[in-house]
Chains A and B, each alone.
Chain A
Amino acid sequence: MIRAEHITKTFGGREVLKDITAVFEPGKTNLIIGKSGSGKTVFLKCIVGLVDIDEGEIWYNDVLFSNLDFRARKEIRKEMGMLFQGSALYDSMTVEENVRFPLDMFTRMSYEEKLDRVNFCLNRVDILNSNHLTPAELSGGMKKRVAIARAIALKPRYLFCDEPNSGLDPKTAIVIDELIREITEELNMTTIVNTHDMNSVMENGEKIIFIEEGEKCWEGNKNEILKSDCRLLNEFVFANALAKQLKDTSG
């Protein structure tokens, strides 16, 4: 479980996160939603420690992560996997080397064992016979899959996804969503996904936090989101004409 308590972050005098408190549960796909510029990526980066918080606390189970120094954080970081918006695959490495990298860095496995694990992870995300391709030779969807394979190579306890569907067609986006949900359940990970894709919300939203201008405005799940009376959330969820029409029709 991950707990973020009273998180505040300011950039150049502008408060981008205002006293946010949230709990992210294991075995669930936890979503942070909000429009672009609402502060959800900063919030996610604060949780993983890529951005230092001004006030508040981040807990990973019973460890106060936000108070740890770089060395102490390393132990928890070995249990983290992250899928970045642009995939962030290492350009100079092949697909196989990308997925093998965390194993090379943090395990004493033999080459054969590492290769087995790499192939298992790549098979799990349906990437076949592409071990020797470079990231430049992959499509957007394939890059995301390889990034997921790299993120799960060390069997992490925590998975973070920053807008995993950005730049993908709707069908591929659904496949990536399903993959994240399945892997979360399989490995009983605490998964946090940043998104503004409503398809993702309706597919994966076991727990949803809505952020608007750095403030947490609403918390619930995919069944509750359509019935919410939070005006800002409704403006976000029913932003397009089709969704508005559906809401009006259904009353």
Chain B
Amino acid sequence: MFRFLSGFGSYWILLGKVFSRPEKPAIYYRQTMREFISLGLRSIGIVTIISFFMGAVITLQTAYNTENPIYPTYLIGLGARDSIILEFSSTIVALILAGKVGSNIASEIGTMRVTEQIDALEIMGVNSASYLILPKVVATVVFNPFLTLISIITGILGGWIVGTSAGVITSQDYVYGIQYAFIPYYITYALIKTVIFAFIITTVSAYQGYTVEGGSLEVGRASTRAVVYSSVMILLFNVILTQLLLS
């Protein structure tokens, strides 16, 4: 319990250092652009592939589980759309990014810690926490909503292609289903969740990396902890945000 509280306290102290005034905004801007590429653009591939196949599977499963003459077939499109927007593209993609981006951040910062690169920054008088973490937070918080939108579009497209190819739904029914009773607020809900999950992934993983002590073995452990803790926090906040935003 003491360890948890101590860790929780030092996490907030670290955030205090992260969100202090940048020493040289131009350098931070350049770093942020690098992080957009490293953490954002380089995640498009995996998000697209996973979203396409998940959209396809959601459509097929909805079709096979609602095989009943009472249900109109366009409900398959509607079900796939809402599953993708409400849960898959925000929460599941965030869990996938916790694995990819979270471990990347923890191992990068952890390696810098054990090889004294962070000490070298501190010696120069650079606020290492802010210099290393703030650009990552900004990049993920700004870019991840785009990843979510890409995921929604690709997921729905995957459902359409595979659903119509497998013959479980006609193209007209699917398109009608994804337009039927559409609630635009669901997109807002998904994007709000994405922003908060992006913040959790980046700060929790950065904290794990920044506080590493020891050698390469510890960096590996920190990387694993980053993924586990980020994932648990995402699931916890998913419940909280769903209650707050949809009730």
Asked if B240 lies at the interface with its beta carbon under 8 angstroms from chain A, I say: no
Q: Point out the residues of chain B lying under 8 angstroms from A91, CB to CB.
A: 111-112, 115, 117
Asked if A78 lies at the interface with its beta carbon under 8 angstroms from chain B, I say: yes
Q: Is the CB of A78 within 8 A of B124?
A: yes
Asked if B87 lies at the interface with its beta carbon under 8 angstroms from chain A, I say: no
Q: How far is the CB of A30 from chain B (nearest CB, A)?
A: 17
Report the nearest B residue to A51, measured CB to CB: B119
Asked if B122 lies at the interface with its beta carbon under 8 angstroms from chain A, I say: yes
Report the nearest A residue to B120, measured CB to CB: A88
Q: Is the CB of A77 within 8 A of B124?
A: yes
Known contacts A105-B23, A105-B27; is A48 also within 8 Å of B115 by CB? no
**Which parts of A111-146 form the interface with B (CB within 8 Å)?**
none
Please report the C-alpha to C-alpha distance between residue A70 and residue B120 in the assembled complex, in whole angstroms: 15
Please report the C-alpha to C-alpha distance between residue A82 and residue B123 in the assembled complex, in whole angstroms: 7
Q: Is the CB of B115 within 8 A of A86?
A: yes
Q: Is the CB of A48 within 8 A of B123?
A: yes
Q: Is the CB of A85 within 8 A of B116?
A: yes
Report the nearest B residue to A102, measured CB to CB: B124
Q: Is the CB of B115 within 8 A of A88?
A: yes
Q: Point out the residues of chain A lying under 8 angstroms from B120, CB to CB.
A: 82, 84, 88, 90
Q: Is the CB of B27 within 8 A of A104?
A: yes
Q: Point out the residues of chain B lying under 8 angstroms from A84, CB to CB.
A: 116, 119-120
Asked if B126 lies at the interface with its beta carbon under 8 angstroms from chain A, I say: yes
Q: Is the CB of B123 within 8 A of A104?
A: no
Q: Is the CB of B125 within 8 A of A50?
A: no
Q: Is the CB of B23 within 8 A of A50?
A: no
Asked if B24 lies at the interface with its beta carbon under 8 angstroms from chain A, I say: yes
A106 contacts which of B111, B116, B123, B125 (Cβ < 8 Å)?
B125
Q: Is the CB of A105 within 8 A of B24?
A: yes
A58-85 to B contact mask, C-beta < 8 Å, 1/0 = 0000000000001001110110111011
Q: Is the CB of A77 within 8 A of B125?
A: yes
Q: Is the CB of B117 within 8 A of A104?
A: no
Q: Point out the residues of chain A lying under 8 angstroms from B123, CB to CB.
A: 48, 50, 77, 80-82, 160
Q: Is the CB of B27 within 8 A of A86?
A: no
Interface size on B, residues (CB 8 A): 16
Q: Point out the residues of chain B lying under 8 angstroms from A50, CB to CB.
A: 119, 122-123
Interface size on A, residues (CB 8 A): 25
Q: Point out the residues of chain A lying under 8 angstroms from B111, CB to CB.
A: 91
Q: How far is the CB of B78 from chain A (nearest CB, A)?
A: 47
**Which parts of A161-177 form the interface with B (CB within 8 Å)?**
none
Q: Is the CB of A88 within 8 A of B126?
A: no
Most central of A75, A101, A105 by chain B CB within 10 Å: A105
Q: Point out the residues of chain A lying under 8 angstroms from B122, CB to CB.
A: 50, 77
Q: Is the CB of B119 within 8 A of A88?
A: yes
Please report the C-alpha to C-alpha distance between residue A155 and residue B217 in the assembled complex, in whole angstroms: 37
**Which parts of B1-44 form the interface with A (CB within 8 Å)?**
23-24, 27
Q: Is the CB of A105 within 8 A of B126?
A: yes
Q: How far is the CB of B57 from chain A (nearest CB, A)?
A: 38
Q: How far is the CB of B163 from chain A (nearest CB, A)?
A: 44
Q: Point out the residues of chain A lying under 8 angstroms from B24, CB to CB.
A: 104-105
Q: How far is the CB of B191 from chain A (nearest CB, A)?
A: 31
Q: Point out the residues of chain A lying under 8 angstroms from B126, CB to CB.
A: 105
Q: How far is the CB of A82 from chain B (nearest CB, A)?
A: 5
Report the nearest A residue to B124, measured CB to CB: A102
Q: How far is the CB of A46 from chain B (nearest CB, A)?
A: 13
Most central of A45, A82, A85 by chain B CB within 10 Å: A82
Q: Point out the residues of chain B lying under 8 angstroms from A48, CB to CB.
A: 123
Q: Is the CB of B125 within 8 A of A73?
A: yes
B118-155 to A contact mask, C-beta < 8 Å, 1/0 = 01101111110000000000000000000000000000
8 A-B residue pairs with Cβ-Cβ distance under 8 Å, sorted by A, are A77-B122, A77-B123, A78-B124, A88-B115, A91-B117, A104-B24, A105-B24, A105-B27
Residues of A near any B CB (own CB < 8 A) = 45, 48, 50, 70, 73-75, 77-78, 80-82, 84-86, 88-91, 101-102, 104-106, 160
Residues of B near any A CB (own CB < 8 A) = 23-24, 27, 111-112, 115-117, 119-120, 122-127
7 nearest CB pairs, A to B: A77-B125, A74-B125, A88-B116, A88-B120, A82-B123, A84-B116, A78-B125
Known: A85-B116, A88-B120. 19 other contacts (CB 8 A): A45-B119, A50-B119, A50-B123, A70-B127, A80-B124, A82-B120, A82-B123, A84-B116, A88-B115, A88-B116, A88-B117, A89-B117, A91-B117, A102-B124, A104-B24, A105-B27, A106-B23, A106-B125, A160-B123
